[in-house]
Structure 1
């Protein structure tokens, strides 16, 4: 007689073993979601590790408390009023899972926060992953180095390793942590979707074009961002990034890298501030074409088919311009707007410009200036992302336009879709609105969450009970996420085609950087 012993998988509880040690998270909430916060995915990037590639975290022997967020990375935003502790020691991540057992292999969704590569953290109440996790995915969010700590390039640093994109290398390290550890939280390391907003979406577009990211994620969702190009032209080159680093060192008394590494973090951070009054691409420490993480201008990599050939869902909001009005062309009068447009786009293209952005009256010019700002800061590059990926990859592509408004969200501004994606429906601070959500807002959140989770599962947002979302093709049809949810031809196509006509081999003109 044979005796068969069946191995049983231990029930997933609040104590989980990662490769570095045990972590203890929160008890399951009413929806059955376990939450783990503040797990180190890399060693603190301090002292000699400042401006070096992220290193593995040191293992620990005791059970590590994972019930509070780790400190956010230092913010370069002037007078940043966002709550929460900040520190140079900030490379922490968070996990939400409703898995009952560790072998469930649930789809994984990894959130990359926005903030112009200058501010933001994974502790934002709007991006709490609990409600998404309750829908059957494992959600991960993390911090990454920002501003001068994340993106300083300097010739002396190049003697150690290619310098500049430490923040992007942090993102890669977090994704490697997911690949190595997420199965112990009930996630599937072979079904990882990255999703992000603004600079988070731009990071995703950049990573899709990076050979170093291959195999670390399998689907991508980009909300209001794509390549970190637009009004400023293309992504900065490594020489420009080095010149910026050298100029900063000169400002610090011709400081050496050793001296800069010895300078207190808060002092360095205060010496490299950024505000919304200026474009971060030309006035702050941001990603560059370093020929290591970023081999070439990302849009060009997509044009040549050198990106990751994975399913992509991407889109933009109807009023992206709201936080970026300081980057608008002069709009105090129709004449001033037309003159600025002629300087930027050329006299021979002014007639075409005015068909896309009419300026017959001062009021019309003001409206066109706002539309143009949203288009060249965010919208057109998202549209290009869809078109280029569809044209050079056989992977499915889905596009959307978020134009929903309600008393809770009176303007479909940049970032306003985020509380719907997570279902948190926190106050819409970017537009200064504190009106609480109503039933229609909650219904839209459920719809968007379902689309996003379906895409994470299968690479297709469609599912039972949802309005059909067609794949993006040459007809330029996008899913309208608004009061009505329906597929329609892209209403901004004429404007985007005009701006896109200035791309040569996928690259926008560098001369735009010099237009006031």
Structure 2
């Protein structure tokens, strides 16, 4: 008798079967990429499911069209101009794949959008995954609960759910969906890279330090974020988060959780607004140490080597402060800046501070205030993540510093690297630029896309035709992503070292909460 070979190969088309039901996505584009948008990865978190852990989605019969993005979470940002539908019913994800067969096991890149845990969505044109998918990875993005919907902590909720970090639990649910379903799209559930920017990168660092995320991703990329530290110290404690929740219910006439669950979503959202004038780490509904998703200060977990032992690629931009200048120390004069710095860092260390952030003139003080803001809100924690991960885990670690400018990107601000990573090169509106990209911009984008995809494939960004990117070590050498791509010693090492010297067992000082603010 002859043995019969049974093939497990299945052709991948625009109709895909997941564990919950069949999907129909968009036809392949000119690059051969299939797109599936608005896939439910959890039940709508509405009604009795408001402020509960995400529940599995309901299965369906027949074929579900996935042709448009699902609604993003309601935005806490006052007067948010960003387009697109928003709803409390927001737990949807998107998949881009160029696989031809289901058994290809392509590396998977899962994107977490930023927005301070207050605004944003996966429908941002800058983060369209088509061009990355065309390079051989499967790309996933998703929405998660934001603001009061994602992060209300309250003693009356503790008996119903072990966490106020519902937005982070949504992220875990999305990763579990990927693990269960991504093979149907030609992806490898055992080769998942989690990447994000700003709050998305903060989430990457938090989840690396969370016991609940173990095994759900295998590599990490953090763009401009790491620990959810900020200008006023480390993230909210268990007690602080619940005190914030109690204060909110008092302002609603001592409303019960049941009454707040019955309140229309738009009305509830309007009662918890946020603006860039307020610190998003300690003065907003945002991640807190809940002793469940986040058992301790994430940087402290990294210090003790309790984070995931996986490859990490992380970095920061040269003008991170651009959107956050309202959080700067007073800098209307050199004298005001020096006085505010003394209150935070202490009289004994003021001279040391002024060598790094000089304030001999008013103009100098203004420039130093900007640099300090970028360092404290983003830069120093990215550097800490690299250092601590390399020292405690010794997993492959790669650092970068994005300082590229051009007519298309005149300032290397927070968020400006995103269109380069995705290859979309959409207008850089955050810095007021609508100048179209040129050949130099496209060349840098191709290099960055290749670095990111190479890292997702094998935990190393290096590859043919790319400038060598050395692994991060005690020499503090990072890859400069600028007009020239080259490896150089971290240009902000002295400044970052000064700020990090105030960390106590990994955490920034609680007393910074009370320091003078503008």
TM-score for both structures, normalised by structure 2: 0.99
Name the counterpart of 1:96: 96
Q: Deviations over 1:415-460 (max 9, x none)?
A: 0000000000000011010000000000000000000000000000
Matched, 1:340 2:340: yes
Cα distance in structure 1, aligned partners of 2:147 and 2:56 = 22
Contact residue 69 and residue 123 of structure 1 kept, 8 A: yes
Cα distance between partner residues in 1 of 2:6 and 2:44? 42
Say whether residues 1:73 and 2:81 are aligned partners: no
Partner of 1:457: 457
Measure, in 2, the Cα distance between the counterparts of 1:394 and 1:16.
40
In 1, Cα distance between equivalents of 2:7 and 2:187 = 20
Task: Determine whether 1:167 maps to 2:167.
Answer: yes
| Match in the other structure for 1:136 | 136
Q: CA deviation at 1:125?
A: 0.2
What residue in structure 2 maps to residue 254 of structure 1? 254
Post-superposition offset of 1:230: 2.6
Distance 1:60 1:494 in 2: 57
Q: 1:119-134 alignment to 2 at 5 Å?
A: 119-134=119-134
Q: Following superposition, which runs of at least 4 residues in structure 1 exceed 4 angstroms of deviation?
A: none
Please give the per-residue CA displacement for 1:201-220, whole angstroms capped at 9, x wherever unaligned. Answer: 00010000000000000000
2:148 match: 148
**RMSD across aligned C-alpha pairs, in angstroms?**
0.8
Q: 1:8: how far off?
A: 5.3
Aligned residue number for residue 207 of structure 1: 207
* 1:475 matched residue in structure 2: 475
Give runs of aligned pairs for residues 56-455 of structure 1, distance below 5 A: 56-455=56-455
Partner of 1:31: 31
CA contact 1:152–1:163 (8 Å) conserved in 2: no
SS in 1 for 2:222: strand
Corresponding residue of 1:40: 40
Mean Cα deviation higher: 250-259 or 409-418: 250-259
Secondary structure of the structure 2 residue equivalent to 1:236: coil
SS in 2 for 1:427: coil
CA contact (8 A) 2:225 2:382 kept: yes
1:335-357 deviations in whole A, cap 9, x for unaligned?
Answer: 11111101110000001101111
Asked if the contact 1:51–1:163 (Cα under 8 Å) also holds between the matched residues in 2, the reply is: no
Give the secondary-structure state (helix, strand or coil) at the position aligned to 1:282: coil
Shift of 1:223: 0.2
* CA distance in structure 2 between the aligned counterparts of 1:243 and 1:125, rounded to whole angstroms: 38
Matched with 2:14 is 14
TM superposition shift of 1:10:
2.0
Contact 1:114 1:197 in 2 (8 A): yes
Query: C-alpha separation between the residues in 1 aligned to 2:372 and 2:3?
Result: 73
In 1: Cα distance, 2:160 partner to 2:263 partner: 19
State how many pairs are aligned: 516
Do 1:76 and 1:269's aligned partners in 2 also have CA atoms closer than 8 Å? yes
Partners in 2 of 1:262 and 1:148 — Cα distance? Answer: 14
Of 499-508 and 407-416, more deviation after overlay is shown by 499-508
d(CA) in 2 for partners of 1:184, 1:370: 48
How far apart in 1 are the matches of 2:494 and 2:428? 30
Q: Could you tell me how far apart the structure 2 residues matched to 1:25 and 1:424 are?
A: 21
Q: What whole-Å deviation, never above 9, does each CA across 1:77-106 have from its counterpart, x for those lacking one? A: 000110000000000000000000000000
Equivalent pair of 2:106/2:136 in contact (CA under 8 Å): yes
Q: How far apart, in 1, do the equivalents of 2:8 and 2:496 lie? A: 56
Distance 2:11 2:196 in 1: 31
The answer on whether the counterparts of 2:230 and 2:281 sit within 8 Å (CA) in structure 1 is no
CA distance in 2 between counterparts of 1:276 and 1:98 reads: 39
Q: What secondary structure, in the 3-state scheme, does the structure 2 residue paired with 1:289 have?
A: coil
1:245-287 C-alpha deviation (Å, 9 max, x unpaired): 0111111111001000000000000000001111112221000
The SS at the match of 1:95 is strand
Q: CA deviation at 1:400?
A: 0.2
1:54 alignment counterpart: 54
- Measured against aligned partners, the alpha-carbon deviations of 1:97-126 in whole angstroms (never above 9, x if no partner) come to 000000000000000000000000000000
- Secondary structure of the residue aligned to 1:228 is coil
Which segments of 5 or more consecutive residues in structure 2 lack a partner in the other structure? none
8 Å Cα contact 1:154-1:163 kept in structure 2 = no
Q: What per-residue deviation string (whole Å, max 9, x for no partner) do you get for residues 220-248 of structure 1?
A: 00000000013111111111000110111
C-alpha distance after superposition, 1:120-179 (max 9, x if no partner): 000000000000000000000000000000000010100112231000000000000000
CA–CA separation in structure 2 for the residues paired with 1:222 and 1:446? 19
Q: CA deviation at 1:3?
A: 5.7
Is the contact between residue 196 and residue 221 of structure 2 (CA under 8 Å) also seen in structure 1?
yes
